[in-house]
Chain A
Amino acid sequence: MISRKPHVIGKPFPLIEAQRKLTGVTCYAGDEKISPDMLHARILFSERPRARFRLRNLDAARNHPGVVALLTGRDVNGRMGHTVADRELLAVDEVIYAGQPLAVIAAESPEIAAKALALIQVVYEDLPATLSIEQSLSRGAPAVHPDFMSYRGAEKLNSEPERNIAHALTFVRGDVDQGFAEADVVLERTYTAAHLQHAPMETHGGVAQRQPDGSVTMWMHVQAPFLQRAIIAGALGMSPEKIRIITGCVGGSFGGKVFVSVEALLAAIALHTNGRPVRMLLTREEEFKGVFMAPAMRAHIKMGAKQDGRITAIEAIYDWDVGASVDAAVFHLQAVTLAGTGPYAIPNVSVRTNAVYTNLLPAAPLRGLGVAQVHWAIEQHVAELAEILNMTALNLRQWNLVKGGDHLFPNFVMHASGLENCGALAVDAIGWRPETPRPAQAEADDASDRPGVGRGMALGWSPIILSDQCGSSVTIRFDSERLCDVVVDGVDIGQGLYAFITQIISFELNIPVEWITVEPTDTANYAPDWEASYHNLLWSMGHALLRATGEMKKQILSCVAKEWEEPISNLDIVDGEVVSYASRRKLPLLSLLEEGMGAETSPPSFSVTATYRPPNVDGSIDSQLQSFASTAYAAEVQVDPETGALSILQLAAAVDVGHALNPESVRAQIKGGIIQSVSFTLLEEMVFENGVPVSTDFMKYPIATTADMPLQLHPIVVEVPQRSGPYGARDLSHHVQVGAAPAIANAIYRAVGVRIRDLPITAQRIYDALQEKRARESGAG
């Protein structure tokens, strides 16, 4: 490719939306003022994990002054889901989790809505519930979904509903029994990771209004408007073109605003308010207890290795507590299965992942898609195994590392990757040379001059899967009125999407950035069955943009070529002008658009739509697997051996992004990923009491503040081009998370000699482990 404007791709580029965001102009949930007669919706949520229930006093609520509409499951009864319809729009007779919607109300003010809802008495008759993976899988546990097989889409999943297994995937290579027989050392451990919350600063919400034609227009701030259109329409029994979703910027999603939670209820109630618009904005408490959580994990890992460090076999079982709905987690399961061995080429493999139903809040994948939790297990396991083999963990990793050319899955051969390089750079960034084997007593560490200080690292690989929802479509229009107007189907969730779009168009068409306007995403611009990408946008939209700009350029040049009577190959666009390399003629694009080519022709306008479609699904485990993205984390921590208090002194993340199109933006995303990972690793746990969430605010569910930041952050950009990606780039949102938690845990081990195998790593857990270690040592001594 001729590098026409090398300063645009791979060089700093401003965030297009930043100025609007920083002047308070950008609209988020609750900011839209559709009309002064707007109503306010509130939801009544279940307070019990499993119970039969009756709603009393409904008439009092309905007749309360200022109430315009009230719906219960008796009024609107629909099942909701994308792959499998395992959720009810509103519960009927029985609830299967605390936080399940029982009623929705629209009133003149949020206060009236709340007051009227408080008039409703919910009479519960508790039923046996199952509240953990262990309980759900145990014999005689109540089935969360006894009628699972009757749900739309149930046949698509590999389920055992009577055992509460909603979906299971397995991957087998070689013969693990033989692999373990060959091993000199076999290590078995169990690791867990808590339920997390996406906890975007912007709670779920939006505005909906019924239109005269019976359709519903929704102004929402969601990551996947096209997917939501399909799910909402399905739940309400409407055709998709009757739901129109207009989406501006999103105030944080992290996976929590992909699948529909309360949005369908907003559409439902808006159908009953005589065309008056309805606004819904969840309170923080509702955001915690009534939307989604991220799945919890229990991993059982068995690994065998020869004395020389070759890993001969791995048997891994990953159980995921997906709460009362698997629908949002189906894709998550494919990702964690593919990532299940960690980045190691092991001859004998058995990976099984189970999505397990419980009577808890439905789960939706969090940034990282569970791959971060998989590495929590694998990367600690590898470190422990290395110690048993009396070699450095780094050596053990290198010995077994996946390499380009490895035939890993039936249809997938590993490509060149930055794995090894990431590891070396991360370790180097914190000033660590882990050359000598570690003695079991971590006190004799290389950091022994600083008591309680230790260093650890972890590698990571993360599958990039071009799922069904990985298509993207772009329309570029060029005319004198709007200049370059762009319609896309993706959404800005803080990743800098508008900058990305503008950067590519400006580069490819060689026009000034100021000419380009990206319109808010509107489902009305696309066919009712279009399900656009909500992740891997760089990939899908990048390809769509390259096609669209290529075609646009051809249209413009052929229009001018015809008039100039020159072959199109002579022509190019340079800095907003059509030029001929042969005749040296020039025509500014602005004059072309305003005046046309001459008196006898009217000014032209151009319009191009280009679409990228994901490859077809064939049902195999590596179906749509496009590549693996690599990361490495290195951590330096200090632990107070008396209290277990932990400080992270340094944290380095090396991330292979293929090609950093906008390097500062990439570094910003990595830094954000590091801090979020610290938050997930040290602070966050969704706590339930008898199935009812008690983590309902930021005091009970703390997330990282500036006080929790590591003292030193080292974001490292590694660039091993993804040959099939736009400009060699690959998406980075998910894999930024992978490796942080185990690197910190490995560092803690080297600091004070205890292994924490349950996330989050709290001071209490470290303290307890230290006490146990002391008791063990004094008992032994």
Chain B
Amino acid sequence: MEHEIQFVVNGESRSLTVFSQQTLLEVLREDLGLTSPKHGCSTGECGACSVLLNGEVVNSCMVLAVEADGAEILTVEGLATEDELHPLQKSFIDHHGVQCGYCASGMLISAKALLNRTSRPHEEEIREALVGNLCRCGAYADIIKSIQVASRARR
């Protein structure tokens, strides 16, 4: 079955026709060309497809596109402004918070949500916030450091 939906993604209003069974991940990637959220597991275990849905982190592989009707969505494509990277992006670059990079979008999104809630998180809080984002390269230590430094820079 087809549905007409409308949502705001990275500040831009979009109207689309989606099928009932289509996930938000699929619509973002295939219909809107926003490929920063990645396929990792399709079962909500790895966090590679994380996006912000009305300010909350969701695994976009576990959300149906129709559920996002009327929502506000942020992907990594919407993090930087035209002329400036987001402080998290800068910090991840400076502190080696990325290796192969496949998990990076999910990490940034989870970090963004955390910083929205808590402006200066402790290491323990960062670990907890990232527990649903798998990084096979094991870059967690530098990812945590990147987030810590970014949170300090924001103040």
- Residue of B34, B80, B136 ringed by the most chain A CB atoms within 10 A: B136
CA distance A709 to B38 in the complex (A): 24
In the complex, residue of chain A having the shortest beta-carbon distance to the beta carbon of B34: A24
- Beta-carbon contact of B40 and A201 below 8 Å: yes
- Beta-carbon contact of A284 and B101 below 8 Å: no
Shortest beta-carbon distance, A187 to chain B, in Å? Answer: 34
Partner of A254, one of B40, B104, B130, B136: B136
Partner of A21, one of B39, B80, B98: B98
Q: Which of A237-267 contact B (CB under 8 A)?
A: 249-254
CA distance A665 to B89 in the complex (A): 17
CA distance A271 to B17 in the complex (A): 33
CA distance A704 to B132 in the complex (A): 11
Which chain B positions have C-beta within 8 A of A485?
Answer: none
- Beta-carbon contact of A23 and B127 below 8 Å: no
CA distance A240 to B134 in the complex (A): 37
Shortest beta-carbon distance, B51 to chain A, in Å? Answer: 11
Q: Mark A700-722, 1 if CB is under 8 A from B, else 0.
A: 00011111010001000000000
- Beta-carbon contact of A18 and B35 below 8 Å: no
Please, how many residues of chain B have a CB less than 8 angstroms from a CB on the other chain?
52
- Beta-carbon contact of A493 and B100 below 8 Å: yes
Given A31-B35, A671-B141, A674-B138, the answer on whether A21 and B42 have CB atoms closer than 8 Å is no
Which chain B positions have C-beta within 8 A of A14?
Answer: 93-94
Shortest beta-carbon distance, A249 to chain B, in Å? Answer: 6
Which chain A positions have C-beta within 8 A of B142?
Answer: 668, 671
Which chain B positions have C-beta within 8 A of A698?
Answer: 41, 43, 45-46, 134
- Residue of A281, A673, A709 ringed by the most chain B CB atoms within 10 A: A709
Asked if A626 is an interface residue, CB under 8 A from chain B, the answer is no
Asked if B75 is an interface residue, CB under 8 A from chain A, the answer is yes
Which chain A positions have C-beta within 8 A of B79?
Answer: 23
Shortest beta-carbon distance, A91 to chain B, in Å? Answer: 26
Shortest beta-carbon distance, B113 to chain A, in Å? Answer: 15
Asked if B13 is an interface residue, CB under 8 A from chain A, the answer is no
Please, how many residues of chain A have a CB less than 8 angstroms from a CB on the other chain?
55
Say whether chain B's binding surface is mostly helix, strand, loop, or mixed.
Answer: loop
- Beta-carbon contact of B99 and A23 below 8 Å: no
Asked if A22 is an interface residue, CB under 8 A from chain B, the answer is yes
Q: Which of A31-68 contact B (CB under 8 A)?
A: 31, 33
CA distance A713 to B127 in the complex (A): 14
Asked if A234 is an interface residue, CB under 8 A from chain B, the answer is no
- Beta-carbon contact of B41 and A200 below 8 Å: no
Asked if A203 is an interface residue, CB under 8 A from chain B, the answer is yes
Q: Mark A651-687, 1 if CB is under 8 A from B, else 0.
A: 0000000000000110111011111100100000000
CA distance A706 to B93 in the complex (A): 20
Shortest beta-carbon distance, B52 to chain A, in Å? Answer: 14
CA distance A301 to B29 in the complex (A): 53
- Beta-carbon contact of B130 and A706 below 8 Å: yes
Which chain B positions have C-beta within 8 A of A640?
Answer: none
Partner of A23, one of B33, B77, B103: B77
- Beta-carbon contact of A672 and B139 below 8 Å: yes
Asked if A26 is an interface residue, CB under 8 A from chain B, the answer is yes
Partner of B101, one of A203, A251, A665, A668: A251
Given A203-B39, A676-B136, the answer on whether A494 and B99 have CB atoms closer than 8 Å is yes
Asked if B105 is an interface residue, CB under 8 A from chain A, the answer is yes
- Beta-carbon contact of A23 and B76 below 8 Å: yes
Which chain A positions have C-beta within 8 A of B133?
Answer: 705-706
- Beta-carbon contact of A672 and B138 below 8 Å: yes
- Beta-carbon contact of A668 and B99 below 8 Å: yes
Given A24-B75, A33-B33, A698-B41, the answer on whether A15 and B138 have CB atoms closer than 8 Å is no
Which chain A positions have C-beta within 8 A of B35?
Answer: 24, 27, 30-31
- Beta-carbon contact of B138 and A671 below 8 Å: yes
Shortest beta-carbon distance, A739 to chain B, in Å? Answer: 16
Asked if B144 is an interface residue, CB under 8 A from chain A, the answer is yes
CA distance A613 to B33 in the complex (A): 42
Which chain A positions have C-beta within 8 A of B45?
Answer: 284, 697-699
- Beta-carbon contact of A673 and B138 below 8 Å: yes
Which chain B positions have C-beta within 8 A of A707?
Answer: 127-128, 131
Asked if A211 is an interface residue, CB under 8 A from chain B, the answer is no
Asked if A446 is an interface residue, CB under 8 A from chain B, the answer is no
In the complex, residue of chain A having the shortest beta-carbon distance to the beta carbon of B76: A24
Asked if B85 is an interface residue, CB under 8 A from chain A, the answer is yes
CA distance A199 to B96 in the complex (A): 22
Partner of A15, one of B41, B93, B103: B93
Partner of A668, one of B39, B80, B89, B139: B139
- Beta-carbon contact of B93 and A24 below 8 Å: no
Partner of B140, one of A30, A493, A494, A675: A675
- Beta-carbon contact of B136 and A703 below 8 Å: yes
Complex A-B: 5 CB contacts under 8 Å: A15-B93, A22-B89, A281-B39, A705-B131, A707-B127
Q: Using CB atoms and an 8 Å cutoff, list the residues of chain A in contact with chain B.
A: 14-15, 17-19, 21-24, 26-28, 30-31, 33, 199-203, 249-254, 281, 283-284, 493-496, 664-665, 667-669, 671-676, 679, 697-699, 703-707, 709, 713
**6 nearest CB pairs, A to B:** A24-B36, A494-B100, A675-B138, A251-B102, A21-B101, A494-B99
Known: A24-B105, A201-B100. 18 other contacts (CB 8 A): A14-B94, A18-B96, A18-B101, A21-B98, A22-B76, A24-B76, A201-B134, A281-B39, A284-B42, A284-B43, A494-B137, A495-B99, A668-B142, A672-B137, A675-B141, A697-B43, A698-B41, A709-B140
